[in-house]
Amino acid sequence: MSDTVFPVPAEVAARAHIVDAQYQEMYRRSVEDPDGFWGEHGKRIDWIKPYTRVKNTSFDYHNVSIKWFEDGTLNVSANCVDRHLEKRGDKPAIIWEGDDPNEHKVITYNDLHREVNKFANVLHGQGVKKGDRVTIYMPMIPEAAYAMLACARIGAIHSVVFGGFSPDSLAQRIEDCKSECVITADEGLRGGRKVPLKSNVDKAAEKAPVKSVVVVRRTGGDIAMREGRDVWYHEEADRVSDHCRPVEMNAEDPLFILYTSGSTGKPKGVMHTSGGYLVYASMTHEYVFDYHEGEIYWCTADVGWVTGHSYIVYGPLANGATTLMFEGVPTYPGPGRFWEVCDKHDVNIFYTAPTAIRALMGAGDEHVTQTSRKSLRLLGSVGEPINPEAWTWYYNVVGDGRCPIVDTWWQTETGGILITPLPGATDLKPGSATRPFFGVQPAIVDSEGKFLEGASEGNLVITDSWPGQMRTVYGDHERFIQTYFATYKGQYFTGDGCRRDEDGYYWITGRVDDVINVSGHRMGTAEVESALVAHPKVSEAAVVGYPHDIKGQGIYAYVTLMEGQEPTDELKKELVRHVRNEIGPIASPDLIQFAPGLPKTRSGKIMRRILRKIAEDSFDSLGDTSTLADPTVVDDLIDNRQNRA
């Protein structure tokens, strides 16, 4: 942890929307008078029928219910597109930068309007109606954003599935939300390599049949089209009009479902609704990034994650900003790519993940310093704790010591940023997400749920609702309550550990549940375990995270084989391939240890604490092992550990 403080530079404060005195005053009002505060700020978006009720929320364990602006009506796509036409029709809405540095495209708000309308009509043509779920499995091309906004336009609920997920993971998500239409592309392109998206959809549809598959042509690669189910987007788009009236939606009508991993069971469909989500995404985008009209803003996330939803598509477009969308990877064709793109498009605001920063830091400063980056004004970080070394490198080398860094803490469930500096208001401390955004009331509790005051460390809860909060787990409200409101009754439990320092700054320490964060991607250890035990040679598996220089956390798997199976290196490789096939490459175990036995209590519960310690190579402090059914297994685990310092 670092104690260095970086005060707000005078020139940053001078142009900022919010300086410290305003932050203090607005924050106070936002928690003392949420109805007044949000009633006012809700007007930042256009409503068809204005709301008269603002906040109607309960965290009561027996009756969790979250509604914001509940009698207002709006259309999210009209807010992100139509309302900008008059003033900003010819202004770039999306700058698309291809995987290949020779490919880019500028899409103005007028273009975006035409494309979204056409896409909406194509979906209508496929029989998609208000309330239907549409699965989007796309590469990072503008059509992914058009598809999302087209769903919003006609009131369909999109479920974007990250293009790196396997056919099985895709099938599970299609099935869970009973989606009958999938939008995909022939192939994706990342780092010069093709991703067989359509062929994955075909495999998924064998398990989870769908009525229609809309295929966008990206690479022109050879793919199979199934008669009666699959259509080419460009052929359908040629036939439809470029006008589609936006459907009037209630503020609490669902906008999207996004699957995310938890500590148990299969991924949960996190459900977000329309009004509160859009107010929150657009307001955080403007204030956290101190966005001003005309600036070029780039978030490097994929639209398959919540960061892509809120801070590539909905937040920036609701604000009439220019959002850059990047198809490729940080290291292709070389490790200078991010900074070359910043120079090429004069990027002012740049938002990425610590894992990318660490990887690029390792590639050497010259890839950064040979670019200009003079357009950059603000840097952002999201997805995992940023270690002070990476923060300092980002600040000094990438930002030349002149761009504040906003370390933004939030989650798929929160819809938008909850704890973050505001560039004109907050002095920075490397590694700290600093202070709560307006309306957000964090608290730290001990394991019994007792509130800790002042400087303290424990588990992070949020004590009251904010407009961007998820409303339910799709189709399973009880699971929503059990997951988030049962551990500390009456509080939203984040699953994160946290320290608050004497200045009231928050330092997120990482997950305290069985979720690990691998390169900023959230992964349930239970999911990787069930993929492993699905292999015929595996009898039992336990998965934990361990510190990894670039990924933040790596995946460490302890595997017990079926009687008579040989523990070979070949089998390790086979198991890695197997997990990739079952879930996707992001779930590949980094280290596998064959273990004849796992440490279990006498009641058969696996003692993960011990497994974590061994994986971290810090087994001097294993704690009490006397309650184990067979304490000798621990010696074998230590002797054969895979992560020796």
Residue linked to tokens 């069930």: 530
CB of 556 to ligand PRX, least distance (A): 18
499 is in an annotated binding site: no
- For 116, other C-beta atoms within 10 Å of its C-beta total 28
Measured CA distances, 148 to 112, 116, 156, 409 (Å): 12, 9, 9, 24
When the beta carbons of 259 and 594 are compared against ligand PRX, the nearer one is 259
Q: Where are the beta strands (DSSP E) in 529-642?
A: 538-548, 552-561, 591-594
Residue count of the chain: 645
- Cα–Cα distance for residue pair 120/147, rounded to 1 Å: 8
30 is in an annotated binding site: no
When the beta carbons of 166 and 408 are compared against ligand PRX, the nearer one is 408
**C-alpha 572 chain-centroid distance:** 30
- Candidates 155, 18, 67; CA nearest to 467 is 67
355 is in an annotated binding site: no
When the beta carbons of 325 and 538 are compared against ligand PRX, the nearer one is 325
Pick out residues in 388-407 that bind ligand PRX (CB under 6 A): 407
Pick out residues in 456-495 that bind ligand PRX (CB under 6 A): 494-495
Q: Which residue's CB atom is positioned nearest to ligand PRX?
A: 412
319 touches ligand PRX (CB under 6 A): no
The residue within the footprint of ligand PRX, chosen from 373, 522, 551, 613 (CB under 6 A), is 522
CB of 447 to ligand PRX, least distance (A): 18
- Candidates 548, 518, 540, 527; CA nearest to 616 is 548
CB of 177 to ligand PRX, least distance (A): 18
When the beta carbons of 320 and 330 are compared against ligand PRX, the nearer one is 330
When the beta carbons of 462 and 538 are compared against ligand PRX, the nearer one is 462
193 is in an annotated binding site: yes
382 touches ligand PRX (CB under 6 A): yes
410 is in an annotated binding site: yes
535 is in an annotated binding site: yes
496 is in an annotated binding site: yes
CB of 480 to ligand PRX, least distance (A): 15
For residues 431 and 386, the answer to whether their CB atoms sit within 8 Å is yes
- For 49, other C-beta atoms within 10 Å of its C-beta total 12
191 is in an annotated binding site: yes
517 touches ligand PRX (CB under 6 A): yes
When the beta carbons of 92 and 545 are compared against ligand PRX, the nearer one is 545
Q: 497 pairs with which residues across the strands?
A: 459, 510
For residues 432 and 505, the answer to whether their CB atoms sit within 8 Å is yes
- Candidates 284, 269, 262, 318; CA nearest to 470 is 269
Helices and strands in the chain, H and E counts: 22, 31
553 touches ligand PRX (CB under 6 A): no
End-to-end Cα separation, the chain, in angstroms: 22
User: Residues 529, 531, 537, 540: what is their CA dihedral angle, to the nearest 10 degrees?
Assistant: 20
Q: Which amino acid would we find at residue 323?
A: T
When the beta carbons of 3 and 570 are compared against ligand PRX, the nearer one is 3
514 touches ligand PRX (CB under 6 A): no
Q: 104 pairs with which residues across the strands?
A: 97
When the beta carbons of 51 and 395 are compared against ligand PRX, the nearer one is 395
CB of 545 to ligand PRX, least distance (A): 11
Contact range with ligand PRX by CB under 6 A, out of 149-157, 380-388, 561-569, 585-593: 380-388
CB of 123 to ligand PRX, least distance (A): 27
383 is in an annotated binding site: yes
Residue 565, judged by CB atoms within 10 A of its CB (0-12, 13-18, 19+), counts as middle
306 touches ligand PRX (CB under 6 A): yes
- Cα–Cα distance for residue pair 342/349, rounded to 1 Å: 9
Residue linked to tokens 């602006």: 69
384 touches ligand PRX (CB under 6 A): yes
- Cα–Cα distance for residue pair 605/624, rounded to 1 Å: 15
- Candidates 393, 381, 296; CA nearest to 344 is 296
CB of 203 to ligand PRX, least distance (A): 25
593 touches ligand PRX (CB under 6 A): no
Residue linked to tokens 């104690």: 3
For residues 211 and 127, the answer to whether their CB atoms sit within 8 Å is yes
Measured N-to-C along each axis, helices 569-582 and 167-176 cross at an angle, to the nearest 10 degrees, of: 30
Per-residue interface string for the shown chain with ligand PRX, residues 409-438, x marking contact by CB under 6 A: xxxx--------------------x-----
Report, in this order, helix, strand and coil percent for the chain, each rounded to 5. Answer: 35, 25, 40
Measured N-to-C along each axis, helices 167-176 and 197-207 cross at an angle, to the nearest 10 degrees, of: 50
> Hey, what are 571's tokens?
């089998």
When the beta carbons of 189 and 508 are compared against ligand PRX, the nearer one is 508
Pick out residues in 111-140 that bind ligand PRX (CB under 6 A): none
385 touches ligand PRX (CB under 6 A): yes
Residue 109, judged by CB atoms within 10 A of its CB (0-12, 13-18, 19+), counts as buried
320 touches ligand PRX (CB under 6 A): no
CB of 321 to ligand PRX, least distance (A): 19
The residue within the footprint of ligand PRX, chosen from 16, 54, 508, 598 (CB under 6 A), is 508
511 is in an annotated binding site: yes
Contact range with ligand PRX by CB under 6 A, out of 15-23, 163-171, 482-490, 510-518: 510-518
Pick out residues in 218-277 that bind ligand PRX (CB under 6 A): 260
408 is in an annotated binding site: yes
For residues 262 and 511, the answer to whether their CB atoms sit within 8 Å is no
When the beta carbons of 246 and 439 are compared against ligand PRX, the nearer one is 439
302 touches ligand PRX (CB under 6 A): no
65 is in an annotated binding site: no
Can you give the binding site for ligand PRX, defined by CB under 6 A? 260, 306-307, 382-385, 407-412, 433, 494-496, 508, 510-511, 517, 522
Binding-site annotation, residues for ATP: 383-385, 407-412, 496, 511, 522
Binding-site annotation, residues for CoA: 190-193, 307, 519, 580
Binding-site annotation, residues for Mg(2+): 533, 535, 538
